[in-house]
Structure 1
Amino acid sequence: MVREDGKRNFVMLENGEKTKQFTGRMPRQAALKAARRLEGYDSYESEDEAKDDATEIRLLERGTDRVHVYDAWAWRDTAPNDKPGWMQQNEVSSVTRGNVSKQGIEHIEK
């Protein structure tokens, strides 16, 4: 279901349970947000390392029967030189980056 601002809500399904909610105009945008919040990817220093250990995520689009399935991975990267002021004040030296690869769409039977 699309909101007035054009964004849609997606709920992560873990073991059949609805857990976290992510918002985005497209499913991939929500999946990228979910990928950056995955557990266990803090030790990876490069995308290639993390991609070899991809995690399947399933995002249910609110108001529909569609489940978007992605392989997702994340890794730590150095913070950019033009980082915002709050990052400089807190001396943040690294950021979490994420990427996804769509595997397909499934439909939930009611």
Structure 2
Amino acid sequence: MVREDGKRNFALRENGGDESSVFSGNTPRQAALKAARRLDPGSSEDSADRVELRLREKGTEKVHIYDGWAWEEEAPDDKPDWMPSDITEANVSKKGIEHLDE
């Protein structure tokens, strides 16, 4: 279901079907990137572990499936004072869509 501001809610599904967290975004990829940033970061993008992320769009039976990974990078030199010196970056790759038969 789309909110007034155009954002949609996506529930992160675990292996057993439990939905532990909800991420919002205009697109499924935007929500998947938010979920990927919570993964344990690797030391670089190439060495980061790929984890399957399954996001069910609230109000539908569609499950968007992504591979997600996160890594740590040094913050830019012009960072604000409150920003830590190491930041977590993330990326995702879409694998497909499933439809639940529940």
TM bin, normalised by shorter chain, reads over 0.9
Tell me which of 43, 46, 52 is aligned to 1:45. Answer: 43
Q: Could you tell me which residue of structure 2 aligns to residue 104 of structure 1?
A: 96
Residue type at the aligned position of 1:108: L
Residue type at the aligned position of 2:31: A
TM-score normalised by length of structure 1:
0.87
SS in 2 for 1:4: coil
Q: Could you tell me which residue of structure 2 aligns to residue 3 of structure 1?
A: 3
Tell me the distance in 2 between the aligned counterparts of 1:85 and 1:69.
37
Q: Could you tell me which residue of structure 2 aligns to residue 13 of structure 1?
A: 13
Deviation of 1:47 after TM superposition, in Å, equals: 0.6
Q: CA RMSD in A?
A: 1.0
Tell me the distance in 1 between the aligned counterparts of 2:26 and 2:79.
25
Q: Could you tell me which residue of structure 1 aligns to residue 29 of structure 2?
A: 28
Tell me the distance in 1 between the aligned counterparts of 2:80 and 2:31.
23
Tell me which of 43, 47, 54 is aligned to 2:50. Answer: 54
Deviation of 1:84 after TM superposition, in Å, equals: 2.4
Tell me which of 73, 78, 86 is aligned to 2:74. Answer: 78
SS in 2 for 1:47: coil
Gaps of 5+ in 2: none
Tell me the distance in 1 between the aligned counterparts of 2:54 and 2:14.
7
> 1:38-72: per-residue Cα shift (whole Å, max 9, x none)?
1x32xx2211111xx20001000001110000000
Query: What number of residue pairs does the alignment pair up?
Result: 101
Structure with more helix by fraction: 1
Residue type at the aligned position of 1:64: T
Poorly superposed stretches of 4+, deviation over 4 Å: none
